[in-house]
Structure 1
Amino acid sequence: MHKLAGIELGGTKTVVVLGQPGRIDERLEFATTGPTETLDRAIDAIRSWRDDKPVDAVGIASFGPLRVSHEASDHGFMLDTPKPGWSGAAVAGPVAAALGCPVGLDTDVNGAALAEHRFGAARGCESMVYLTIGTGLGGGVLIAGEPAHGLLHPEIGHVRLRRAPGDTFEGACAFHGDCMEGLVSGPALAARLGTHPSRVAADDPAWETAAHDLAELFAMLILTVSPQRIVVGGGVAGKQPHLLPMAIARVPALLGGYLRDCTREKLAGMITPPLLGDDAGPMGALILAARALEDRRAPARALAGA
């Protein structure tokens, strides 16, 4: 069996794992600091697990935005990001150079989407969206089971949608102010609520505006991506579980009767928490590692067949 490692590179925390898709054998977590220190620590962890042989491939599921196109000259590099010190950082190259093996790279939310699609809440779905609401707000999109890539990768957290009537909060996004990340990410909610979101009671009326904003996001995704499942993870949704049903209840009215199948009951089964919890991102990184190894082996098989 091939030896695979995964790195979930988050804006706040990095998780390094050893295992196989569907199984985590070793795990290490530490704070994400600067790019060199963080990647070196991840590489050292993987080296420490070598035992009798090095790893065969590594998958990196990283915060972004990232250049994921293999045709781009800056493939594997971080683009402009609010994470201090990371803009322009090489992400995939240092890992490949240090470990001498194939490296698969995608966003952390695309990685989590792959894991929930294969092992979790979106099994059997052709199309799905994985949202994470925490330090930031990100979204991974799978179409026919494959991550959506194009000009870049989906940047769902930075869309602007209709604001709740009377809401004058300017937003907390350094780039766009009142985009979705600027309205309902953890730091944005802390600014709006005046305290850490986990300290605000579930029945506090202050949650009404956040529920409105999330409902707008769900309606937009339903109308544009047409997902069979929207999986919502991250610390905000996990620590305030009332927020998801509050938002779902508002979606039918936003759709205005246009999609008759999107009843509140149907949406409650379609918009769900993750089944894999905190393992979704690391498990997705292991799937990316397996894919990178398969991509490397494919040309050799083609030549052998010729």
Structure 2
Amino acid sequence: MCYGAIEAGGTKFVCAVADENLKIIKKVQIPTTSPQETFKQIFSFFNAYDLKAIGIGSFGPIGTNPNQDNYGYILATPKKGWTNFDFLGTLKKRYDIPVVWTTDVNAAAYGELLMGAAQGKTSCLYLTVGTGIGGGVIMDGQIFQGIASPEMGHIYVKRHPQDEYEGICPYHHDCLEGLAAGPSLEARAGIKGQDLPIDHPVWDIQAYYIAQALMTYTLTLSPEVIVLGGGVMNQDHLLRKIRQEFTTQMAGYVETPDVEEYIVRWGLPNKSGIIGSLLLAQTIS
């Protein structure tokens, strides 16, 4: 028997099956189109295997409270066709096996805790900075979830004194995601983030906002380590700037581990979510 995993993203779904040692047997990418077409391909992939359990990390926001009617649903997403879609119910109609349902960033945080940059810890915060910004939290080895899935990319941040950009978030405009997600780089500079020179002033603005958010998360959650992932974080100079800004903004108010050990890059680049989903499947089998 195999463990199954789904990392559901707004652009693509990654599906995988692994053996009992979590060695991946096969993995596929499926374009995120309509729910009907996407699930047709998901079923085609998993039908070839005898599944013991499935772990799902999904884009959101999603319903995560089992006591609510919207549990297992994709909620108010800008992804056309997916709002109020019963993701979990659709899957369970096909496969009568245990399923873990959580956000993509929660799954990634779990993967980083057990097999990535946060190994050896009991708590961590994982923040992905890419097309959007999202965060997942592990406390005492367990995924933290309240009345809804935490949407850590949508906190408000104090504006950089030299930044007049209105923000890209369709809901809040100048929240953290609106001001610091990948598209904001190109919107300000007219150049894609991967092509921006390292001395471009927009990087200072980017670091200012991300560091400010990390300070807020530290003051409220006190994780043992913060793990940064996503395409925007594939920049050594940005990580250095974030660490410097974090130290400056914290101003010695709360003691943390050495900043180079406290704020780190992901240990499972582009794999945190799918590995975390497989690990979650293993917990309920």
TM-score bracket relative to the smaller structure: over 0.9
The alpha-carbon deviation at position 99 of structure 1 amounts to 2.3
Query: Partner of 1:61 in structure 2?
Result: 57
2:44 pairs with 1:44:
yes
Which of the two has higher C-alpha Rg?
1
2:149 pairs with 1:149:
no
Aligned partner letter, 1:285:
S
Query: Partner of 2:26 in structure 1?
Result: 26
2:271 pairs with 1:292:
no
The alpha-carbon deviation at position 243 of structure 1 amounts to 1.0
Query: Partner of 1:5 in structure 2?
Result: 4
Aligned partner letter, 1:191:
A
Unpaired runs of at least 5, structure 1: 294-306
Are the aligned partners of 1:22 and 1:119 in contact in 2 as well (CA < 8 Å)?
A: no
2:268 pairs with 1:273:
no
Which runs of structure 2 are paired with 1:202-221 in the superposition (5 Å)?
202-221=198-217
Are the aligned partners of 2:57 and 2:104 in contact in 1 as well (CA < 8 Å)?
A: yes
The alpha-carbon deviation at position 8 of structure 1 amounts to 0.3
Partner of residue 184 from structure 1, selected from 180, 186, 190: 180
Q: Match of 1:192, SS?
A: helix
The alpha-carbon deviation at position 228 of structure 1 amounts to 0.8
Distance 2:281 2:122 in 1: 22
Q: Match of 1:4, SS?
A: strand
Q: 1:65 to 1:4 in 2, by over 3 A?
A: same
Distance 1:272 1:40 in 2: 38
Are the aligned partners of 1:125 and 1:228 in contact in 2 as well (CA < 8 Å)?
A: yes
Unpaired runs of at least 5, structure 2: none
Query: Partner of 2:192 in structure 1?
Result: 196
Distance 1:178 1:142 in 2: 27
Aligned partner letter, 1:253:
T
How many residue pairs are counted as aligned between the two chains?
284
Query: Partner of 1:303 in structure 2?
Result: none
Query: Partner of 1:115 in structure 2?
Result: 111
The alpha-carbon deviation at position 261 of structure 1 amounts to 4.2
The alpha-carbon deviation at position 193 of structure 1 amounts to 2.2
Are the aligned partners of 1:8 and 1:60 in contact in 2 as well (CA < 8 Å)?
A: yes
Q: Match of 1:163, SS?
A: coil
Query: Partner of 2:74 in structure 1?
Result: 78
Aligned partner letter, 1:269:
E
The alpha-carbon deviation at position 288 of structure 1 amounts to 2.2
Distance 2:266 2:89 in 1: 31
Distance 1:187 1:35 in 2: 26
Distance 2:140 2:218 in 1: 16
Are the aligned partners of 1:214 and 1:247 in contact in 2 as well (CA < 8 Å)?
A: yes
Are the aligned partners of 2:53 and 2:281 in contact in 1 as well (CA < 8 Å)?
A: yes
Q: Percent identity?
A: 37
The alpha-carbon deviation at position 271 of structure 1 amounts to 0.8
- The TM-score with structure 1 as length reference comes to 0.89
Are the aligned partners of 1:12 and 1:135 in contact in 2 as well (CA < 8 Å)?
A: no
Q: Match of 2:276, SS?
A: helix
Are the aligned partners of 1:11 and 1:135 in contact in 2 as well (CA < 8 Å)?
A: no
Are the aligned partners of 2:3 and 2:22 in contact in 1 as well (CA < 8 Å)?
A: no
Question: What's the CA shift string for 1:229-257, capped at 9, x where partnerless?
Answer: 1111111112x232111111011221122
Distance 1:187 1:84 in 2: 19
Distance 1:133 1:27 in 2: 24
Query: Partner of 2:236 in structure 1?
Result: 241
The alpha-carbon deviation at position 260 of structure 1 amounts to 4.1
